[in-house]
Amino acid sequence: MLGFMNITKALADENRVRILLALYGENELCVCRLIDMLELAPSTVSKHLFILRNARLVNCRKEGRWMHYRLNTNGASKVVNGALEWVIRSMAEDPLVRKDAERLRDILSEETTTKCGS
């Protein structure tokens, strides 16, 4: 029951859903890229990512001082995978999600030195 409640809590926020959809489009993203895409304070993005990790919807790894995130598809329960698939199907055509995808493409294509080096 706790896992289900953590997933529903994680999916109850627009910004967390936006993070999931951004990660779906990319293999892995540095937290600095997610901060740039969402245009939110680093502490706010970190809180959202904590909730997503707690729900087992994302995995992370540390590289230097930066955290990199990806969807948790390997070893995740059927409930987690089902929740991710449902979110992706339901929101893929949303205008804000499309805008986020364009913004993320711009962020990733910048040739200047980035904060995280990725």
Look at residue 114 and tell me if it is in a domain: no
Per residue in 104-116, pLDDT (tens digit) is 999 988 754 456 6
Look at residue 116 and tell me if it is in a domain: no
Look at residue 101 and tell me if it is in a domain: yes
Instruction: Look at 88 and 104; give whichever has higher pLDDT.
Output: 104
Q: Which domain holds residue 61?
A: 2-108
Mean pLDDT of 34-41: 95
- Whether the predicted model's global pTM rises above the 0.75 cut: yes
Q: Which amino acid is at 3?
A: G
What is the residue whose two structure tokens read 């245009």?
A: 39
Q: Tell me how far the alpha carbon of residue 105 is from its chain's centroid.
A: 15
Look at residue 70 and tell me if it is in a domain: yes
Look at residue 34 and tell me if it is in a domain: yes
CATH of the domain at 84: 1.10.10.10
Look at residue 115 and tell me if it is in a domain: no
**Cβ(114)–Cβ(32) below 8 Å:** yes
Look at residue 15 and tell me if it is in a domain: yes
Question: Domain count of the chain?
Answer: 1
Lowest-confidence pick of 20-24, 29-33, 88-92, 105-109: 88-92
Look at residue 30 and tell me if it is in a domain: yes
- Does position 47 have pLDDT exceeding 70, yes or no? yes
Confidence (pLDDT) at 2: 62
